[in-house]
């Protein structure tokens, strides 16, 4: 395959034209083959030269016939393949198929190009928000964002994961000391890839709004925003390398061969009650005790020591829901009415962009009973505006949401998030 | 709260039949549910799994739109019965695909839900047939037996060449998901892990699949092996076997592939 790729780059002018044509969707090369003939006699040479005159075949000679013993390379469009091969075979001219499908090779080349260009995005301007990224790419993005906006953005390490990966939180602040703050996390369940991807988009959006003095710029005048994009880095790495549908952390607790704890069942709110599993081999295993997972404990420690977080939003996928406490009990949260009203507004704002339909309500009535959940704990800590989003879709693609839906999902979700942030700002407690 | 949409005249008759008024002697008067409630939505999904499987077509595959009306009746000695009206979308394009009326009975004893479902069409039968034939031709006119992995892939992509094979997986796994569904356990098709075609001498197409189902509310990924045969216009034939747990080191459950194990902190 390597030889054929280098062969392709030798024909650079042709390749460029082909790629441009492909990009402009004017032509494809599906089924086209590149044949090589090495004429060994005058008769063979003549047979090949005859092909040049048959214009209707639309042959493209990459190496034109010249002398005996020199290779002749011909790109043959799919509809002409039979005729050309018949012509050569009838004349006793042997040929080999150098490229079985030109389009397949072009696609591969394009993927390679994209992959190599992805390794070096030069700034957050050239970063591709419409694609899914690896941990390294996201951590690199974060560093670039901080470097480009040192007066607005800083990166905090709030702890380390089980496998010793740093847990990074971006802080967006225009100053002050310990201002009231909004917390947003994405990727706590590693397989929910649209959430980490949306987190990256949110980070860039906050910076852009601030630069243009619109959107959340007004919120940043009086509040800070904390954003943890890869809340479960071990799980996330695992989804890239071994199992795309991995949900939990990657911790090993004694007494079991199974790996991982559900980080959304590990919080100290109804811990271990109905709505979580005590079996380490299940996807909703709550862990041996609350905050056993460093990914969870680091957030708990951060929230407690900060002491001034007013809104807390944890982002998941899929189902298209906006949820508020509780999940571990059917007792309504004391602020249920207000939370319900804010949810209605947030969902209306979200839907206004693309018509995406969301339902909303308490966790237990809307989705299912779940104990030890993030926002039940944060709510019980006194963070009134505690919400969970479940992003697109409703099951058609589920966790494997096509990358082209990343930006629309992030855009609409952002509108909902802004409603929550603005309400918190206007109703500080 | 979403109100009832005006139904086309053809539905009025069916409405009367499907939504009987409770008479004083009836075992349990129907309890009207919030159309958006999770049990109504879950029941509608079960009805659609069944409908997609029974439809024996790929062009007519539907996804759930919105539940418009839902009623729950307790049938003593029998189980819980849901009466549903919901809109649907074309599975591939997302376009409106018409409305359905359905009943779903979850039996007290362990067996698949009993479903009746009737849907209107936005695509006419001829269009659906032509789409099925196109899918069929695409499958038949490959030079080698079709194989594939990870459909969609990690990034949500489905290779155009593998679309018919994916549609077939949706139709086939619908039968598995319908059979396994209970009032408390629901399913989605998460991914086609692998597919391999068996070449046959007759006109039928035959495939071996490994499909991954996402189970709610347990969040488990269930791996199922599925052998499927299809010819447009004929019933889909599906044989399946599901592992009790997909992931490493698991299998602590008793070997049943059916319901959840009873454990402390069980999901419902």
**pLDDT digits over A3-52, tens only?**
555 555 555 555 555 555 555 545 678 888 888 888 888 888 988 888 88
- Catalytic positions of A, please? 390
For residue A385, being part of any structural domain is answered with yes
CB atoms B154 and A132 under 8 Å:
yes
Q: Is this complex's ipTM strictly greater than 0.95?
A: no
Selected residue with higher pLDDT from B5 and A192: A192
What per-residue confidence (pLDDT) applies to B26?
Answer: 43
Q: Is residue A74 part of a domain?
A: yes
Chain A nearest CA to B24, separation (Å) = 31
For residue B55, report the phi and psi dihedrals to the nearest 5 degrees: -65, -15
Whether the predicted pLDDT of B246 surpasses 60: no
For B8-119, the fitting CATH number among 1.10.760.10, 3.10.450.10, 3.40.50.1240, 1.10.10.60 is 3.10.450.10
pLDDT per residue as tens digits for the range A117-149: 556 688 999 999 999 999 999 999 999 999 999
Nearest residue in B to A356, CA atom: B65
Each residue's pLDDT tens digit, A73-86? 888 988 888 889 88
Q: Please say if the pLDDT value at position A72 is more than 80.
A: yes
pLDDT of residue A67: 81
Nearest to A132 among B155, B189, B252 (CB): B155
Residues 47-86 of A with CB under 8 A from B: none
pLDDT value for A14 = 59
Tokens matching residue A128 = 């591709």
pLDDT at B235 over 60: yes
Question: What is the reported pLDDT for A365?
Answer: 93
Residue B72, beta-bridge partner list? B31, B82
What are residue A302's phi and psi, to 5 degrees?
A: -65, -50
Question: For a pLDDT cut of 70, what percent of chain A falls above it?
Answer: 91
- Cα distances (angstroms) measured from residue A139 to each of A102, A124, A147, A229, B156: 37, 12, 12, 9, 23
Same domain, A95 and A196: no
In terms of Cα–Cα distance, which of A254, A248, A235, A300 is closest to A277?
A: A248
* Confidence at B263, pLDDT banded by 50, 70, 90: very low
- Asked whether residue B254 carries a pLDDT value surpassing 70, the answer given is no
Residue B252's pLDDT band (boundaries 50, 70, 90)? very low
Min Cα separation A46/chain B (Å): 33
Say if residue A22 is exposed, middle or buried (CB neighbours under 10 Å; 0-12, 13-18, 19+). middle
A181 and A57, same structural domain? Answer: no
Q: Which residues of B touch A (CB under 8 A)?
A: 36, 38, 45, 63-64, 66, 91, 94, 150, 152-157, 188-191, 212, 214, 216-221, 245, 247-253, 261, 263-268
The structural domains of chain B, with segments of one domain joined by +, span 8-119, 128-264
> Among the ranges A109-118, A225-234, B48-57, B131-140, which has the highest mean pLDDT value?
A225-234
**pLDDT(A382) > 50:** yes
CATH code for residues B128-264: 3.10.450.10
First to last CA, chain B: 27
Classify residue A152 as exposed, middle or buried by CB count within 10 Å of its CB (0-12, 13-18, 19+). buried
| Cα–Cα distance measured from residue B162 to residue B247, given in angstroms and rounded to the nearest whole number | 26
Task: Summarize pLDDT for A316-345 with one digit per residue, the tens.
Answer: 999 999 999 999 999 999 999 999 999 999
* HEC assignment per residue over B127-147: HHHHHHHHHHHHHHCCCCCCE
Identify which of A416, A421, A418 has the alpha carbon closest to the alpha carbon of residue A348: A416
| Residue found by looking up tokens 């086939």 in the block | B172
**Which residue on chain A is closest to B152 by alpha carbon?**
A400
Is A347 in contact with A322 (CB distance < 8 Å)?
yes
A132 and A216 housed in the same domain: yes
Mean pLDDT, chain A, integer: 91
- pLDDT at B22 > cutoff 70: no
Position A237 in a domain: yes
Range of the domain at A91: 33-100
A167: domain CATH number?
3.40.630.10
| Inter-chain Cβ pairs, chain A and chain B, closer than 8 A | 117
Q: Is residue B257's pLDDT more than 60?
A: no
- Contact between A277 and B267 using a beta-carbon 8 Å cutoff: yes
Distance in angstroms between the alpha carbons of the first and the last residue of chain A: 64
């Amino acid at each position: 395959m390597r030889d054929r790729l280098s062969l392709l780059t030798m024909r650079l002018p042709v390749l460029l034209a082909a790629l441009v044509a492909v990009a402009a969707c004017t032509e494809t090369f599906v089924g086209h083959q590149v044949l090589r003939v090495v004429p060994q006699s005058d008769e063979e040479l003549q047979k090949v030269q005859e092909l040049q005159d048959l214009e209707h075949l639309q042959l493209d000679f990459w190496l034109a016939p010249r002398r005996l013993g020199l290779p002749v390379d011909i790109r043959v469009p799919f509809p002409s393949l039979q005729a050309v091969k018949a012509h050569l075979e009838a004349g006793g001219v042997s040929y080999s198929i150098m490229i079985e499908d030109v389009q397949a090779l072009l696609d591969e080349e394009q993927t390679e190009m994209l992959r190599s260009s992805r390794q070096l995005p030069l700034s957050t301007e050239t970063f591709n928000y419409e694609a899914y990224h690896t941990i390294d790419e996201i951590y690199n993005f974060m560093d670039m964002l901080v470097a480009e906006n040192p007066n607005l953005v800083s990166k905090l390490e709030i702890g380390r994961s089980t496998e010793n990966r740093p847990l990074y939180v971006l802080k967006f602040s225009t100053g002050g000391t310990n201002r009231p703050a909004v917390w947003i996390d994405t990727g706590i369940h590693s397989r929910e890839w649209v959430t980490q991807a949306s987190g990256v988009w949110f980070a860039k959006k906050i910076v852009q709004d601030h630069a243009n003095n619109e959107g959340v710029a007004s919120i940043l005048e009086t509040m800070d925003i904390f954003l943890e994009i890869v809340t479960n880095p071990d799980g996330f790495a695992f989804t890239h390398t071994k199992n795309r549908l991995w949900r939990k952390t990657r911790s090993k607790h004694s007494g079991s061969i199974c790996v991982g704890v559900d980080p959304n069942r590990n919080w100290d709110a109804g811990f271990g009650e109905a709505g979580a599993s005590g079996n380490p081999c299940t996807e909703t295993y709550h862990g041996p005790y609350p905050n056993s997972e460093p990914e969870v404990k680091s957030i708990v420690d951060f929230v407690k020591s900060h002491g001034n977080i007013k809104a807390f939003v944890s982002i998941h996928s899929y189902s298209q829901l906006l949820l508020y406490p509780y999940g571990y009990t059917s007792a309504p949260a004391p602020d249920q009415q207000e939370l319900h009203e804010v949810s209605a507004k947030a969902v209306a704002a979200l839907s206004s962009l693309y018509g995406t339909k969301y339902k909303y309500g308490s966790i237990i009535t809307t989705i299912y009973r779940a104990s030890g959940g993030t926002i039940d704990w944060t709510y019980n800590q006194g963070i009134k505006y505690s919400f969970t989003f479940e992003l697109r879709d409703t099951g058609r693609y589920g966790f494997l949401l096509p990358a082209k839906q990343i930006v629309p999902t992030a855009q609409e979700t952002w509108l909902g998030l802004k409603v929550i942030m603005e309400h918190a700002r206007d109703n500080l407690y | 709260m979403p109100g009832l949409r005006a139904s086309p005249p053809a539905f009025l008759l069916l409405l009367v039949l499907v939504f009987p008024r409770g008479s004083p002697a009836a075992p349990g008067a129907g309890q009207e549910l919030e159309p958006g409630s999770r049990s109504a939505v879950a029941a509608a999904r079960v009805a659609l799994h069944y409908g997609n499987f029974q439809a024996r077509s790929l062009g007519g595959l539907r996804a759930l739109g919105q539940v418009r009306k839902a009623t729950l009746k307790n049938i003593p000695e029998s189980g819980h019965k849901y009466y549903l009206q919901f809109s649907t979308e074309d599975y591939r394009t997302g376009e409106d695909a018409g409305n359905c009326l359905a009943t779903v009975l979850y039996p007290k004893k362990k067996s698949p839900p009993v479903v009746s479902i009737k849907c209107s069409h936005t695509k006419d039968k001829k269009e659906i047939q032509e789409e099925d034939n196109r899918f069929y031709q695409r499958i038949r006119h490959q030079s080698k037996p079709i194989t594939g992995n990870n459909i969609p892939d990690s990034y949500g992509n489905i290779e155009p060449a593998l679309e018919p094979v994916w549609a077939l997986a949706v139709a086939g796994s619908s039968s598995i998901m319908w059979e396994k569904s209970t009032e408390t356990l629901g399913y989605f098709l998460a991914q086609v892990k692998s597919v391999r075609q068996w070449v046959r001498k007759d006109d039928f197409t035959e495939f071996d699949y490994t499909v991954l189902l996402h189970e709610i509310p347990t969040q488990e990924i269930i791996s199922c092996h599925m052998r499927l045969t299809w010819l447009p216009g004929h019933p889909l034939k599906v044989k399946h076997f599901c592992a009790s747990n997909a992931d490493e080191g698991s299998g602590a459950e008793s070997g049943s592939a059916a319901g959840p194990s009873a454990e402390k902190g069980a999901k419902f």
